[in-house]
């Protein structure tokens, strides 16, 4: 089966940004496996390149503020696309809606669901903010560039909607389970239980990846598929690092759990 059956033909710009996005995210995932972790959540001040002294020298924000800052520009990109490109087709409407809904959900969770225990380095906020923002903008631009082109022979919009909904619902559910582990004001970590936590260390990452594959199936552009693949590679690396962290902190942590994908990884 040729890729032309399910992708819009990419321009040189879309092909170049697709390669850059997937490659940079895959490298970031490999860095997580190697212990060079982005400085947020349980990895703040951890890693071969970030001693406690180095972390103390960084400009720091509360995790709640940092995560709201991370997601807000991407949300605004999704919302503004309704006004910048008001008369596009149904596929484009679905993509704009999915991007806006996803990042609104992440802002909502950051404000009202998550119970944070630490801080976040400002340089990490900027890196992750730019990644989400530029990827959202490039997904929107790539979709705009398909206007006037013939539709792919295989329509993946409906599977994409299902993947996206499964992704955001599953992600939200497991975030709620994580939130219930802590009482108000508590900062200690506990071993997560319930849902797919019985099978993998980071089911919330699995469902986040599914949401991005929903973007890809809805959009059917090379950029959206490349970004979903790169995001999956990064989250696999982060989940591997998270499993290693839990094993180092809890003697009774189940060693047989996979990191992100049940029975596989």
Taking the chain (265 residues) in runs of 10, the rounded mean pLDDT of each run is 80 97 97 89 64 66 95 98 94 98 98 90 94 98 95 96 98 97 84 96 98 98 98 97 95 95 96
pTM reported for the whole predicted model: 0.93
Report the pLDDT value the prediction gives residue 54, as an integer from 0 to 100: 58
- Name the CA radius of gyration of the chain, rounded: 19
- Asked if 32 contacts 38 with a C-beta cutoff of 8 angstroms, the reply is yes
Residue 44 CA to residue 27 CA, distance in Å, equals 20
Report the pLDDT value the prediction gives residue 50, as an integer from 0 to 100: 44
Q: How many C-beta atoms surround the C-beta of residue 251 within 10 A?
A: 6
Q: What angle do CA 96, 131, 202 make, to 5 degrees?
A: 90
Report the pLDDT value the prediction gives residue 87, as an integer from 0 to 100: 87
Report the pLDDT value the prediction gives residue 239, as an integer from 0 to 100: 97
- Asked if 131 contacts 195 with a C-beta cutoff of 8 angstroms, the reply is no
Residues 6+ apart with CB under 8 A from 85: 92, 96, 140, 144
């Amino acid at each position: 089966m040729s890729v032309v059956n399910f992708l819009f033909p990419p321009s040189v710009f879309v092909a170049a940004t697709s390669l850059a996005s997937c490659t940079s995210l895959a490298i970031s995932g490999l860095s997580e496996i190697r212990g060079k972790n982005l400085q947020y959540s349980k990895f703040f001040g951890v890693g071969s390149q970030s001693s406690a002294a180095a972390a103390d020298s960084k400009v720091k924000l509360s995790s709640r503020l940092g995560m709201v800052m991370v997601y807000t520009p991407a949300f605004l990109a999704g919302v503004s696309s309704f006004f910048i490109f008001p008369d596009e087709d149904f596929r484009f409407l679905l993509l704009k809606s999915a991007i806006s809904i996803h990042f609104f959900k992440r802002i909502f969770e950051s404000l009202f669901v998550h119970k944070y225990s630490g801080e976040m380095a400002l340089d990490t906020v900027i890196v992750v903010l730019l990644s989400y923002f530029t990827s959202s903008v490039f997904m929107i631009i790539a979709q705009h560039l398909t206007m006037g082109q013939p539709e792919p022979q295989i329509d993946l919009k409906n599977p994409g909607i299902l993947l996206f909904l499964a992704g955001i619902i599953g992600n939200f559910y497991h975030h709620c389970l994580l939130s219930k582990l802590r009482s108000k004001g508590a900062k200690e970590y506990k071993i997560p239980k319930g849902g797919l936590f019985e099978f993998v260390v980071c089911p919330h990452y699995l469902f986040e990846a599914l949401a991005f594959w929903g973007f890809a199936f809805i959009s059917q552009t090379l950029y959206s598929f490349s970004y979903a693949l790169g995001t999956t590679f990064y989250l696999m690396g982060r989940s591997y690092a998270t499993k290693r962290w839990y094993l180092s902190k809890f003697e009774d942590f189940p060693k047989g759990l996979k990191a992100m994908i049940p029975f596989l990884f």
